[in-house]
C-alpha cells in the first residue's frame, strides 16, 4: 500500500527519537519546569523574534486549541470567528463549545478567512442578546492546504485591531506553511501579527506535542493553571521540551516541512501532467485532485487516502497528504498507478 492518508502515522523523526532516548534516564523537574523546556522555549523566542513571549508545551492540537481558546475567551459570552472548514469547527468533537463558547462559523470559498467575512459577522452581532465575537481563529496552512500571504495576514491583523478582536493561529502544519514556495511570511511575522499561535509538532516530525506561543501580555497570566486544569500538563513535561529542542536545532523543523511540500509538488505536477484537475489549487502538503470514479475503485485498493466531499457525476475529489516521511519512490509508484 502507498500511504498518502495523513501526516501523523509515523513515529518521530529519528533525530527527535534519539534525543528522547539519550535523555531518558535523566532526573529532571516535572511539569515542564526542566531545562529542556526552558531551552526549547528560549530557542522559539529567538527564532520568532519575540523575547517576551511565553511558551507552553502541550500534547496535541485539540488540547492546545481548547486550552488556549478557553483561556483567552475569559468571559462566557465571548465567541470565536472561524471558517466552517476549520479544525475546531468540524474535527474536534465540539471541544470549543464544550468550554462554553460559541463558534461563529463562516462559509468560505476555500477555507481562508478574509476581513470582509469577519466584519459581516460583527455587523450582525449588535447587543447583549447575541454573543460577542472576540477572537479570530485561522489555521496556517489551512485544512484545505492553503497558506495566508503576509499581506493577507496583515489585513486580518488590521481588521482585528480595528474591531478589538484577538488573532489566534493554529500552526499544526506551520512547517509546511513556512516552507511553501508561495509563502512570504516568516517566523517573525507569526509572532508579530498573532496574539497567540501554536507551532505544530505532531504533524511535523515530533512523536507528539505542540508549542503554544503567547505573545499578547494580556493573555499570559496564569496560563499554567489552565493547562493543568485541562489535563495538558505532562508530569514528565521534559518529553516535549526535548522534542522541540531537537526539532528546532539546525532548522530540522523547516527541512521536514520543505520535504513534505516537495513530495506534494511532485505529486501535483505528475497529476497535472496526466490531465487531472484540482478542487483546490495545490500549495502545501495536502492536495485535492478530482479522480474519475472508475479509477477511484482501483486506487482505493493500492493507496491509503481519504475522500473529500466534492463529487461530480463522473469524478470524486480525494485528499492526498505527504509528510516528512514520504519518499520519492512512493510518489513515483502512485503516479504509475494513474
Q: How far is the CB of 131 from its own copies (least distance, A)?
A: 4
- Helix/strand/coil for 198: strand
Nearer to its own copies, 191 or 331 (CB): 331
Per the rule left: phi > 0, alpha: psi between -120 and 50, beta: everything else, 333 is alpha
Nearer to its own copies, 92 or 152 (CB): 92
Nearer to its own copies, 61 or 171 (CB): 61
Nearer to its own copies, 48 or 334 (CB): 334
C-alpha cell, 300: 482505493
Q: How far is the CB of 327 from its own copies (least distance, A)?
A: 12
Q: How far is the CB of 273 from its own copies (least distance, A)?
A: 27
- What residues have CB less than 8 Å from 277, skipping those under 6 apart? 289, 290
C-alpha cell, 168: 489566534
Per the rule left: phi > 0, alpha: psi between -120 and 50, beta: everything else, 263 is alpha
Q: How far is the CB of 89 from its own copies (least distance, A)?
A: 9
C-alpha cell, 313: 457525476
Nearer to its own copies, 64 or 179 (CB): 64
Question: Cβ distance 322 to 264 under 8 Å?
Answer: yes
Q: How far is the CB of 49 from its own copies (least distance, A)?
A: 28
Dihedral angle, C-alpha 153, 158, 162, 164, nearest 10 °: 40
Amino acid at each position: 500500500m502507498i500511504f498518502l492518508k495523513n501526516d501523523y502515522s509515523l513515529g518521530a523523526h529519528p533525530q527527535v527519537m534519539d534525543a528522547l532516548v539519550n535523555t531518558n534516564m535523566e532526573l529532571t523537574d516535572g511539569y515542564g519546569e526542566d531545562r529542556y523546556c526552558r531551552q526549547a522555549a528560549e530557542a522559539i523566542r529567538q527564532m520568532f523574534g519575540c523575547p517576551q513571549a511565553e511558551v507552553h508545551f502541550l500534547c496535541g492540537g485539540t488540547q492546545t486549541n481548547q486550552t488556549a481558546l478557553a483561556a483567552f475567551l475569559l468571559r462566557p459570552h465571548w465567541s470565536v470567528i472561524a471558517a466552517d472548514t476549520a479544525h475546531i469547527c468540524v474535527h474536534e468533537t465540539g471541544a470549543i463549545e464544550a468550554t462554553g463558547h460559541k463558534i461563529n462559523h463562516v462559509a468560505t470559498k476555500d477555507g481562508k478567512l478574509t476581513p470582509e467575512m469577519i466584519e459581516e459577522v460583527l455587523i450582525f452581532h449588535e447587543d447583549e442578546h447575541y454573543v460577542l465575537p472576540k477572537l479570530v481563529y485561522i489555521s496556517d496552512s489551512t485544512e484545505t492546504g492553503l497558506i495566508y500571504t503576509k499581506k493577507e495576514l496583515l489585513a486580518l491583523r488590521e481588521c482585528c485591531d480595528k474591531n478589538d478582536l484577538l488573532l489566534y493561529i493554529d500552526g499544526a502544519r506551520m512547517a509546511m506553511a513556512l516552507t511553501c514556495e508561495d509563502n512570504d511570511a516568516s517566523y517573525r511575522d507569526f509572532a508579530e501579527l498573532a496574539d497567540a499561535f501554536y507551532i505544530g509538532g505532531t504533524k511535523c516530525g515530533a512523536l507528539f506535542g505542540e508549542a503554544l506561543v503567547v505573545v499578547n501580555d494580556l493573555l499570559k497570566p496564569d496560563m499554567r493553571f489552565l493547562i493543568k486544569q485541562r489535563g495538558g500538563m505532562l508530569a514528565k513535561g521534559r518529553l516535549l521540551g526535548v522534542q522541540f529542542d531537537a526539532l528546532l536545532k539546525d532548522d530540522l523543523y523547516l527541512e521536514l516541512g520543505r520535504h513534505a511540500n516537495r513530495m506534494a509538488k511532485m505529486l501535483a505536477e505528475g497529476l497535472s501532467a496526466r490531465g487531472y484537475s484540482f478542487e483546490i489549487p495545490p500549495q502545501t502538503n495536502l492536495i485535492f485532485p478530482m479522480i474519475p470514479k472508475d479509477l477511484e475503485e482501483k486506487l482505493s485498493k493500492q493507496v491509503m487516502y481519504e475522500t473529500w466531499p466534492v463529487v461530480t457525476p463522473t469524478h470524486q475529489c480525494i485528499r492526498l497528504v505527504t509528510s516528512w516521511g514520504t519518499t520519492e519512490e512512493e510518489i513515483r509508484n502512485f503516479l504509475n498507478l494513474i
